[in-house]
Amino acid sequence: MTLVKIRIAQFQYHEETGETKTHKRTGEEMPVLATRFARNGQTVDITRDEDLERGDRLGAFEDEVSDAEQVDEQVSEDEPEPEEVVEEVSWRHDDLVTWIRDDKPTASEVVSAAEGNPEYAKKLMAAEEEASGSQPRKSVMDPLKKIAG
């Protein structure tokens, strides 16, 4: 477990859901990942080495937090649960553009973020278009167009 305090506006990371799926090409069982977003000042537990390495490379973390109790101190009773904050923050156009441009998610990650929702797919297409300087990835746009309908 690695607790870190976020120092950039928004950072995307992944958590295992406890479910598995079979990889289409290899037949290997793989964990299903849920995409999460943390905001500036939040302290979160990042468990995947890939996310920690990317965060270190981007300078996304203020410092490591050694005591899990400090996470509880960050959230007041009046503040919404992190899941609610994720939806509020993560679907703003500027945040999506920043995520795509700065975090450089794979095409699969962007398409997965749409969660099969046509509204989300449209927002992601607009963000991909802007983040890429009007040269969006076909591997992102084609699947999102199918979801958007």
Residue 74 per-residue DSSP state: H
Q: Work out whether the CA dihedral 5, 10, 13, 17 comes out positive or negative.
A: positive
pLDDT for residue 77:
42
Quote the CA–CA distance of 125 and 146 in Å, as a whole number.
11
Give the tens place of pLDDT for each residue, 37-81: 888 888 888 888 888 888 888 888 886 554 443 444 444 444 444
Contact 44, 4 (CB under 8 A): yes
Model pTM above 0.85: no
Q: What pLDDT, on a 0 to 100 scale, did the predictor assign at position 65?
A: 53
Interval 74-123: pLDDT, tens: 444 444 444 433 333 357 888 888 889 988 888 888 888 888 889 888 99
- Confirm if 107 and 137 have CB atoms less than 8 A apart: yes
Residue 137 tokens, joined: 């990835």
